[in-house]
Amino acid sequence: MSTPLDGATLLERADALAAITAGPGLTRLYLTDEHRRANALVGHWMAEAGMAVRTDAVGNIIGRYEGDAPGAPALLLGSHLDTVRDAGRYDGMLGVLTAIACVGDLHRRGRRLPCAVEVIGFGDEEGTRFQSTLIGSKAVAGMLDPAALAAVDAAGVTLARALTDWGLDPARIGDAARRPGEILAYAELHIEQGPVLESLDQPVGVVTAIAGAVRLSVTVGGTAGHAGTVPMGLRRDALAAAAEMVLAVEEECAARPPVVGTVGRIAAAPGAVNVIPGQTVFTVDLRSERDGDRDAALAATRARFDAIAARRGVTLAVTRTHAAPAVACSPALIAQMAGAAVAEGFTAQRLPSGAGHDAMAMAALCPVGMLFVRCRGGISHNPAESITAADAEAGARTLLRFIEGFRPAAA
């Protein structure tokens, strides 16, 4: 008979959770009816696993399994339950489901630990609805700026109104914050969202750091003109200049591994087939687990942009739209997770995360650690997101061994 720690059972629960969606694909946004229904299902599973269940002041669902002594500080496990639009079914959710399964295994054996174990399903990590990422984990870490309450969704609904409509009090978002010392550490299991583990034929990996990111919005101004009447040497083509800048991003980042750079969106105006573009707007996303390397790539890229603009006679405006430093995982937790992986018969492959996670916010509250599980093709944020039952079980076994051997880092 299968148990919640069984890989096939984990995938079945992921399927059941994925059925709670606002669209034909998987779309589950923060503070919606789908969010409420997902919390209810996850809360049911938490209760079955022996946990006391509650919802906090920003809509995170939390289950607590007491330790040897009631009221002891807790090891916090979990991830997020919200999704991007037309998402995959394992990003975020697998971490919550696996943590519940591990606590359920402790409960069935009557095993209590020196610390409590809590599992959290964060209501918002992706930022899909309000374009403000990590709302759930920032609130728990005491980092949620009350100014975020003014953020609006596509329908013009503010975060404050959405909280009220959901039955929560916007004035009490600070109640979600946990006190220092109340949480000993935060550990998050997550699909890799990249192809490294698959290329190494390893089911799990231990995360060393989460990459910091800088995002830019770049506007290049030229002169629109007739495509047939303006000689090539007299043009101020905003799109041609931007194209050269896009290649500069690629070249500067390629010269500085492990920095990665992406131009994910570009738009030219007026956008007619027979008109020279007079304006182009594009985005830049630079990431690295080493802030110094990323900052060097940013400086070199900006210098290239300025030189290209001057040579081509176009104007340039660059706005920084996002900046987050890299977050290092706790060396003690890295060592404990690596030990758990080896004890389960796996190679303790260490690798950084290029994607952001709730652990980035939680690092302001306590030491953080992450365990990656292999995903097919490295595909994520996509309905094609896929893992095997064997890999799901490998992750669960490793996480459970980590939990049972957990030792708080020395102060």
Q: Which of 12-16, 133-137, 395-399, 406-410 has the lowest mean pLDDT?
A: 406-410
Q: How confident is the model at residue 3 (pLDDT cuts 50, 70, 90)?
A: low
pLDDT at 21 over 70: yes
Distance CA 377, CA 362 (A): 29
| Low-confidence winner among 2-6, 174-178, 301-305 (lowest mean pLDDT) | 2-6
Residue 154 predicted with pLDDT over 70: yes
Chain Cα centroid distance, residue 241: 33
Confidence band, pLDDT 50/70/90 cuts, at residue 4: low
Rounded mean pLDDT, 222-238: 97
* Beta-bridge partners for 316: 220
Q: Is the pTM for the entire model greater than 0.85?
A: yes
Residues with Cβ within 8 Å of 243's Cβ and at least 6 positions away in sequence, in order, are none
Nearest to 136 by CA among 364, 362, 324: 362
Domains and CATH numbers, the chain: 7-211+326-404 (3.40.630.10), 212-324 (3.30.70.360)
* Residue 410, pLDDT score: 63
Mean pLDDT within 391-406: 98
pLDDT tens readout for residues 264-273: 999 999 999 9
Nearest to 134 by CA among 122, 150, 142: 122
